Structure 1
Amino acid sequence: MNIFIGNLPYKIQESELRELFEDYGELTSLKIITDKQTGQSKGFGFAEMPDRESALKALEDLNAAEIYGRNIVVKEAEEKPRNTSSSGGFKSGGYNKGGYNKTR
């Protein structure tokens, strides 16, 4: 089960978060999302636990748990919606679209 972890304190380390979740069972992965330029935590992350029952117990016990003065949010991660547009968000003009018009 993929788990969303939100409202994380910026100073928490992945190792600390890993310890919290490993109390409930095996972790396949754990990642705190960071800003690419600064390396600073964005205040959320994801964990993956292969055993659904263990994951549900972690959700139940850890949601709203206080860590470094913040109540974290722990819930099942939602699937990221796929972009169905094939244009990549850029609308290009076709023949004679835009530019200046020679005929006045």
Structure 2
Amino acid sequence: MVDWSPIAKVYEPLKAGSIDGTDVEPHDRAVWRAMGARYKPNKGVRGDPLLTLFVARLNPQTTEDKVYQVFSKYGDIQQLRLVRDIVTGFSKGYAFIEYKEERSVVRARRDANKLVVDQHEVFVDFEQERSLKGWVPRRLGGGQGGKKESGQLRFGGRDRPFRKPINLGMGPGQKRGAGGRDWDDRDRHRGSDWGSRGRRDDRDRRRERDDRRHDEGIRTGDDPKH
């Protein structure tokens, strides 16, 4: 648990599909697709990935000029690309911004996330396609986004970090039970409760048996209690 981090350092589809990164089986078909994908970052993308921000959830009506106007206040911009549909030319709602200095990237990521631009709350993070090893985009079942309605939730990112998993290791006051199970004080308490419950059940069964014998004795004129 020492090297645990809420933010993924390496992208693994199986872990990204788990709320705490400990799943051993994919919970949706998209994870299977991502695990089998052989994705390579787009070699046509220019610029330094360590100086590039990913800006998502933009209003479809937001223009390059408006994005430039909002994000230029954090530092000098080297280049900006608003991603558009290749057929319609409409904005897809996300952009990539490369700054000239690292401090500008850090400042923009810190201060611009959840900023409202044209009535839309934007999401801002470092670019991951070229900087996060093993990255698989959402269209192939990966990514770190997704909506609850679709059942495709992804974790390990800024927007939805991993939850810290429960520590199942041996600790003080624990001992190994049969079959390799760990038992602690709560288990022992629960076990004693099961034992007392079992004894109560035995008493109840004996009482019911005696009552049946008593009823049968009354009907035959031979009461076993007398």
TM over 0.5: yes
TM-score grouping bracket, smaller chain normalisation: 0.7 to 0.9
1:28 aligned residue (78, 90, 97): 78
Corresponding residue SS for 2:107: helix
Q: Give the aligned partner of residue 76 of structure 1.
A: 126
Q: Give the aligned partner of residue 62 of structure 2.
A: 12
Q: Shift of the alpha carbon at 1:68?
A: 1.8
2:95 aligned residue (45, 48, 51): 45
Please give the alpha-carbon distance, in whole angstroms, between the structure 1 residues aligned to 2:97 and 2:104.
12
2:104 aligned residue (54, 67, 82): 54
Q: Shift of the alpha carbon at 1:79?
A: 2.9
> Amino acid of the residue matched to residue 127 of structure 2?
A
More helix as a share of residues: 2
More strand as a share of residues: 1
RMSD: 1.4
TM-score, length-scaled by structure 1: 0.74
> Amino acid of the residue matched to residue 105 of structure 2?
A
Q: Detail structure 1 runs of 4+ shifted over 2 Å in the superposition.
A: 79-82
Provide, for residues 8-41 of structure 1, a one-character-per-residue CA deviation record: whole Å limited to 9, x for no partner.
1000110111011111111011011000110000
Instruction: Return the structure number with greater relative CO, CA threshold 8 A, min gap 6.
Output: 1
Greater alpha carbon shift after TM alignment, 60-69 vs 38-47:
60-69
Please give the alpha-carbon distance, in whole angstroms, between the structure 2 residues aligned to 1:66 and 1:21.
12
TM-score, length-scaled by structure 2: 0.35
Corresponding residue SS for 1:28: strand
Please give the alpha-carbon distance, in whole angstroms, between the structure 2 residues aligned to 1:66 and 1:22.
15
- Number of aligned pairs? 82
Please give the alpha-carbon distance, in whole angstroms, between the structure 2 residues aligned to 1:67 and 1:16.
9
Q: Which runs of 5+ in 2 are unaligned?
A: 1-50, 135-226
Corresponding residue SS for 1:23: helix
